[in-house]
Amino acid sequence: MKPWNNSIWQFLVKWALWIVGTVYILIEKLRHYPNEERDNILGLHIDDDLREKTRFDLCTYMDSGFPRNGFWDLNSTTKIRLGAQLMRNILLKDK
C-alpha cells in the first residue's frame, strides 16, 4: 500500500490544505482585482452583479444552483473539476 493512501496521512494532508487555504483567503482579502480580472475572464463576459461579489458571496451564489450546499468547503481542485464538468455539460448541450 502506498503511504499517501493511509487514512492518517490523508487526514494530515487535508488538514494542511485547510490551513493553507484559510491563510490564502485571509491574504486574498487584501488584493484588489483590476477590471480585466473581473469583467471579462478568458473571453467570457461576467455580469455586473457577479463582478462585485466577494469570494464567500460567489460561493453562496454557487450553492443556490446545486442540489446541496457546500461549495465554499470544496478545495480548489474540486471546484475546478466541477467547473470543467459544467463546461462540458454546456458544450455537449450545444451540439
Predicted local distance difference test score (pLDDT) of residue 80: 92
Pairing of strands 44-45, 40-41: antiparallel
Rg (CA), the chain: 17
The mean pLDDT value for 44-49 works out to 91
Which of 10-19, 32-41, 69-78 has the lowest average pLDDT?
Answer: 32-41
Q: Which residues contact 91 (CB under 8 A, 6 or more apart)?
A: none
Domain that holds residue 72: 48-95
* 32 falls within a domain: no
Q: Into how many domains does the chain fold?
A: 1
In a domain, 56, yes or no: yes
- State what percent of residues in the chain have pLDDT above 70: 93
